[in-house]
Amino acid sequence: MTAEIIDGKAIAEQIRGEVAAQVSRRRQAGEPPPGLATVLVGDNPASLSYVRGKQKACREVGIDSQGFHLAEDTRQEVLEKLLIDLNADPKVNGILVQLPLPSGLDEEKALTAISIEKDIDGFHPVNVGRLAMKRRDPMFVPCTPSGVMVLLQKTGVKISGARAVVIGRSNLVGMPTALLLVRENATVTICHSRTENLPEIVRQADLLVAAIGKPKFVRGDWIKPGAIVIDVGINRVEDAGAKNGYRLVGDVDFEEARQVAGAITPVPGGVGPMTIAMLLKNTLKAAEMASIKK
Ligand code: GUN
C-alpha cells in the first residue's frame, strides 16, 4: 500500500482564501481590518522565523499585524504591561505571545494576562480549561491542534469511535490535540517519554498524531496498515547539500510510514501551513466577535 499524501499546503491555502474573502467583505461593509499583535521576546532564530511567517500571512489576507520585539532580558512586569495595553487597544483583536519565552519569564503569568477575547492562540488557562470540560466551549482553540483536526476531517476519516494515539503531551500541541479528539468521540491514548512499549501502543492506532520533536522517531513498522498519520514534527537535520545546510523532517520516518499508512502528512507541507491558516481564522473570529459587541 502507498499512502495518500495529505496536502496541508493546499488545504491551508483554501482556508487563507476564505479568510481573505471574509476580510474583504468586512472592509466593504465599513468594518476596520482585523488586527493581530505579535509579541516576541528575545532572538530565538526559529521563533523569529515563525513570527515573520505569521506577519507575512496576515498581510496577504488583509489582517493588520503589529509586531512587538522585546529584548531577551525584558522583565516580567514590562511584558505584562504591554499585554494589558494591547488588551485595551480596540485596533488589536488578537494577541500572540510567541513561545517559548526566554528562561526567567513566567509563561503562565504572561498568557493569563491576555484577555480571553483576544487569546487567538487559545493558551489562556480559561480557554484550555473549557476545552477540557464537557459542554463548555473555549473562545479559541490552539492553532496547531485545530489544524490537525481539519486535516483529519478533510481526509474523510471517521473520528468518532476510532482509536487515536497522540505521542506528546505538550501544552501547545499534544494535550489540546488529545482533548479535541476526545471531543470528537475518539478513544484516545496519550503517550510520552515515559510510555512503555510505545511501538505496541502505536500499532493499535487508527489515527496517529506524532508531536514529540524527535526526527524520524516513529518507524514504519509501528504503524497499523491503513492508519491515518499526522506528523506535527518540524525538525532541522543537517544536510550539507541543502541551501541552508539543513532540511526539515518530521517525527515520523516518512519513507517507511508511507508504505504502510492509509494517509500521511508530509513535512514540510503538512501540519505547518495549517497552523498559520488557523491563526488567521482565529484572528478573524476575534474581530467578528468584537464587531458584534460594539
Ligand atoms: N511556539 C510554537 N508554536 C507556537 C504557536 O502555535 N503559538 C505560539 N504563540 N508560540 C508557538
Domain final position from 101, 116, 131:
116
Q: Which residue's alpha carbon is at the smallest distance from atom 9 of ligand 1?
A: 98
- Predicted confidence (pLDDT) at residue 292 exceeds the cutoff of 90: no
- Retrieve residue 293's grid coordinates: 459587541
From 121, 206, 251, 253, active-site residue? 121
Same-domain status, 149 and 107: no
Structural domain boundaries, residue 176: 143-272
Same-domain status, 252 and 205: yes
pTM above the 0.85 mark? yes
pLDDT digits (tens, 9 = 90+) for 173-182: 999 999 999 9
Does 185 reside within a domain? Answer: yes
Does 24 reside within a domain? Answer: no
Same-domain status, 63 and 178: no
pLDDT digits (tens, 9 = 90+) for 65-82: 999 999 999 999 999 999
CATH number at 94 reads: 3.40.50.10860
Question: Distance between CA 248 and CA 244 in Å, rounded?
Answer: 11
Residue 148, classified by CB atoms within 10 Å of its CB into exposed (0-12), middle (13-18) or buried (19+), is: buried
Does 148 reside within a domain? Answer: yes
Q: How many domains does the chain have?
A: 2
Pocket of ligand 1 (CB under 6 A): 96-99, 121, 143-144, 172, 275
Q: How far is the CA of 2 from the centre of ligand 1 (A)?
A: 32
- Which pLDDT value is given to residue 293? 77
Same-domain status, 100 and 172: no
Query: Are 278 and 15 contacting, i.e. CB atoms less than 8 angstroms apart?
Result: yes
Ligand 1 mutation pick, 172, 173, 175, 278, max ligand atoms within 8 A of CB? 172
- Retrieve residue 167's grid coordinates: 505521542
Does 282 reside within a domain? Answer: no
Active site residue 121: yes
pLDDT digits (tens, 9 = 90+) for 42-71: 999 999 999 999 999 999 999 999 999 999
Active site residue 54: yes
Same-domain status, 164 and 73: no
Does 52 reside within a domain? Answer: yes
Q: Which of 24-28, 81-85, 123-127, 243-247 is predicted with the least confidence, judged by mean pLDDT?
A: 243-247
pLDDT, the chain, mean: 97
- Retrieve residue 46's grid coordinates: 526559529
Same-domain status, 148 and 112: no
- Which pLDDT value is given to residue 210? 98
Same-domain status, 151 and 259: yes
Does 19 reside within a domain? Answer: no
CATH number at 197 reads: 3.40.50.720
